[in-house]
Structure 1
């Protein structure tokens, strides 16, 4: 049975551990964006910055950043949770994607993972969530993230009607001394 928001929210252990990876499943009350062609976006969660996770009718998961960026990040709710567990720094992978370059995203993922090597809390959270939800590890979470964002056709608009921009950002890890050193 595929993982759904209802199955997840019934598992308090997984919910608590996902909070430590900056994902909360208490949806916003106030709509602050619209999605073209979707009458009532199903807001299933948020992160610490106030950004939203939306389950679309297609079952894709849309990320709507509080900073005016949006895009599909996973092909299903289960793929979204697998992404968060495998790469909790997925937003930084997009930030340092070099404008949507898969090779640059892989470099960023490797550097970001190197910075977490000694972070027992993240590694424990990963294992506990996988165990609590019987999740398998994905073969290529960075490739799946790239594919989802690159194919994203969702148009998200602010309440004033202005469209949000892509989740791919122009930076590379070379713009960050910490990540550049971690990759060396």
Structure 2
């Protein structure tokens, strides 16, 4: 059976573990954006920064940031959960993507992972989620994230009609001393 938000909610312990990876399945009650061509976007969750996770009719998972950026981040709900588990700092990978450069994203992922080496709670959450859901590890989570965002055709708008921009940001890890040192 494919993993869906409904299947996941049966596993309260997994939902709690995902909360420790900054994904909450308590969606906002008030919509603050629209998606062109989607009458009622199905918001399935939020993150601590106020961003929203939306499952589109195509089953793609869209992320809408509170800073005016949006894009598809996964091709299915299961791929979304695999991404969050494998790379809980996926949004930072996009922040340090140098405008959508896959090798820079891989560098960022390696540097960000190095900063988590001693984070037992993250590693425990990863193990528990994979085990309880019998979730296979993603083959190439960074490549899948890149592919999803690069091919994203969803147009998200603020309530005033202004379109959101891409999730790819212009920074790379060399702009951040901590990550630059972690990559060295």
Q: Same fold (TM over 0.5)?
A: yes
SS state of the match for residue 2, structure 1?
A: coil
Partner deviation per Cα, 1:25-77 (whole Å, 9 max, x = no partner): 00110010000000000000000011100000000000000000000000000
Partner deviation per Cα, 1:116-167 (whole Å, 9 max, x = no partner): 0110000000000001111000110000000000000000000000000000
Is 1:111 the counterpart of 2:105? The answer is: no
- In the other structure, the counterpart of 2:72 is 72
- Matched residue pairs, number? 184
Runs of 4+ in structure 1 over 6 Å off: none
Unaligned runs of 5+ in 2: none
Matched ranges for 1:69-108 at <5 A: 69-108=69-108
Matched ranges for 1:30-69 at <5 A: 30-69=30-69
Is 1:126 the counterpart of 2:122? The answer is: no
SS state of the match for residue 34, structure 2?
A: strand
Structure 2 Cα separation of the partners of residues 64 and 134 of structure 1: 28
TM-score (norm 2): 1.00
Structure 2 Cα separation of the partners of residues 41 and 127 of structure 1: 31
Superposition CA RMSD, Å: 0.3
Using the TM superposition, give the Cα deviation of residue 19 of structure 1 relative to its aligned residue in structure 2, in angstroms: 0.3
Structure 2 Cα separation of the partners of residues 20 and 138 of structure 1: 19
Unaligned runs of 5+ in 1: none
Is 1:150 the counterpart of 2:153? The answer is: no
Structure 2 Cα separation of the partners of residues 165 and 10 of structure 1: 35
- In the other structure, the counterpart of 1:164 is 164
Is 1:183 the counterpart of 2:171? The answer is: no
Structure 1 Cα separation of the partners of residues 119 and 28 of structure 2: 30
Structure 2 Cα separation of the partners of residues 115 and 50 of structure 1: 24
